[in-house]
Amino acid sequence: MAAFIEVKDLSVKYGDKSVLKNVSLTIEEGEMVGIIGRSGAGKTILLHIIRGLDEDIPASGKVIFHTARCESCNFINPPSWNGKKCPKCGGTMKPWSVDILDADDDAKRLISRRVAIMIQRTFALYGDDSVIENVMKALKDINYPEGNLINRAADLIDQVKLSHRMMHIARDLSGGEKQRVVLARQLAKEPMMLLADEPTGTLDPKTAKIVHQSIKQAAKDYNMTALITSHFHDVIEELATRAVLLEDGVIKMVGKPEDVITEFMKFQKAVEKKEHAAGEPIVRVNNLQKIYFSVDRGVIKAVNGVSFEVMEGEIFGIVGVSGAGKTSLSNIITGNLEDASGVVEVRIGDDWINMLEPGYYARGRAKQYIGLLHQEYDLYPHRTVVDNLTDAIGLEFPAELAERKAIHTLQIAGFSEEKSKEILSKYPHELSEGERHRVALAQVLIREPRLVVLDEPTGTMDPITKRDVASSILSSREEINETFIIVSHDMEFVRMVCDRAMLMRAGKIVDIGNVDAVLAKVTEQEREIMAKGP
């Protein structure tokens, strides 16, 4: 096929940080090119540059679209249309090449109208409108003939396998269903190209497969060129005809998807989980109950008579679907939820502290020794790593001692001594996602807690970053015998780091003990729900 897009020596630099470095790539008409790389590799920014509408990106180089343009109505099509009649007005299509980094606004608009985009976790729907109304509005935007509007909208909805949700309000759809409505709205443009940024990263495997099939069918029906980014190898395997490995803004490899994925997987370090002898109990829970009252649902037993212990130095996993009681339980253990009954105690020194008893000398005494790291952790963006860490302690430190304490804690969180010293003066945006997560963990550890609770620590991390975070948790346990409770939907991660696991369902404990044995009791339906994320 003919060359459709040529990316030549493309670079993007924010201050001293290079996001893309002399990237060159040719995309042929009709290809489905998959770009794989870990978070922060530069995949998303590359897609936005090719789209051609974001003038705030400090890009240099060339991004040349080779197209066919109607000399009568300016309609744009891929280069194979050169010399043919325009499908819109019957005029003649002539060769037209344009560098969108050096084009005027009119040229950019002509290109962008023919390019569809699906942005990661951005649904861009009319939330109060039905599915068919959303698609009809997309058709009206391109001045589709009014007489056939409803039928065309229904065809598009059928194309993405969503006819059974046609009259549903958009805000009430699941993530996978919303993603398919987005695709239907984009297909309304009859695009010559689709840009899909992590199109199924937050979906369960079954739903992701439906979206993948919809994208593949649309590419075939519209003879559409596609550029798809992901840090999940199965997405690239399923969708791409050719793959690109992007690492730190540099193309490392271009080739067959299976070959590129093999190279990408080499970056995954093995997580070394050593045998660890757990100590005495540090958390005791007995017959704990937490009840909520709802107008529409009545009495809800969020935590329903659970009893268990967590040992000192143990990494203890709590798994279950949303609504199983995990979050309520972890909030009670950390002293952040009241009005529960039963026994919840945390050992501080030789004393057992009642976490259900308010007051400075009751749970207030224990809370200062319990660290909590949420999935949406916060680092101060305009403060350096060393300032983020020492501010977390809340005490004034001499600069030399602050730096020494920070370096020591960063090493506990999994950084080498050399890397710890190197990143002290850096700002959060200068770090990778995995590095930021480890700094956030260090921010908790620098307070010298007895117990650390991690709430959904992996989110939608790429596989390499996930292993980095797993290694940092295991390193912390190895270095200072830290105790962790990990609340997670991510069964792979729980299997990777936890010594024991507990499965919750409807506020009760289904099983507790050996990780593999407990996870074996997760139902197929629960697996699908947990795969969608928290």
The predicted-structure confidence for 365-383, as pLDDT tens digits, reads as follows 999 899 888 766 778 888 9
Using the 8-state DSSP alphabet, how is residue 355 labeled?
A: T
CA 274 to chain CA mean position, Å: 29
Angle at which helix 149-159 crosses helix 205-221, to 10 degrees, equals 130
User: How many Cα atoms sit within 13 Å of 386 on the Cβ side?
Assistant: 21
Q: Give the per-residue pLDDT at 205.
A: 65
User: How many Cα atoms sit within 13 Å of 509 on the Cβ side?
Assistant: 19
Q: Give the per-residue pLDDT at 339.
A: 86
Whether 434 contacts 465, CB under 8 Å:
yes
Q: What are the distances in angstroms from CA 462 to CA 81, 148, 250, 258?
A: 39, 44, 18, 18
Burial (Cβ within 10 Å: 0-12, 13-18, ≥19) of residue 358:
exposed
Residue ranges per domain, the chain?
Answer: 3-114+191-265
Burial (Cβ within 10 Å: 0-12, 13-18, ≥19) of residue 278:
middle
What φ, ψ does residue 332 adopt, rounded to 5°?
-70, -45
Q: Tokens representing 28?
A: 């042929």
Cα dihedral 89/91/97/99 (nearest 10): -30
CA 125, CA 168: separation in Å to the nearest integer? Answer: 13
User: How many Cα atoms sit within 13 Å of 144 on the Cβ side?
Assistant: 19
Element at 234 (helix H, strand E): helix 233-239
Name the pTM for this structure.
0.67
User: Which residues on adjacent β-strands are paired with residue 94?
Assistant: 69
CA 210, CA 177: separation in Å to the nearest integer? Answer: 10
pLDDT tens per residue across all 534 residues of the chain: 679 999 999 999 887 778 899 999 999 999 999 999 877 788 888 988 998 767 778 899 999 999 999 999 999 999 999 999 999 899 999 999 999 999 998 999 899 889 988 876 556 788 889 999 999 999 998 888 888 899 999 999 998 888 998 999 988 887 778 888 988 998 898 899 999 888 776 566 677 778 888 888 888 888 899 999 988 888 898 899 999 999 889 999 999 999 999 998 887 666 777 788 888 999 999 999 998 886 666 788 889 999 999 999 999 999 988 778 888 899 999 998 888 999 999 999 899 999 999 888 889 999 989 988 876 677 888 899 998 988 767 656 667 788 888 998 888 887 888 889 988 998 888 887 678 888 888 888 888 899 999 888 876 667 777 887 888 888 888 888 889 999 988 888 999 999 999 999 989 999 999 999 999 998 888 877 776 555
Q: Tokens representing 362?
A: 């009751």
Residue carrying structure tokens 């797993």: 470
Q: Give the per-residue pLDDT at 65.
A: 96
Output 92-95 pairs: Cβ under 8 A, ≥24 positions apart: 93/68, 93/69, 94/68, 94/69, 94/70, 95/66, 95/67, 95/68, 95/69
Q: Give the per-residue pLDDT at 139.
A: 93
Q: Give the per-residue pLDDT at 430.
A: 80
For domain 3-114+191-265, is the CATH number 3.40.50.300? yes
Residue count of the chain:
534
Q: Give the per-residue pLDDT at 478.
A: 85
Q: Give the per-residue pLDDT at 300.
A: 82
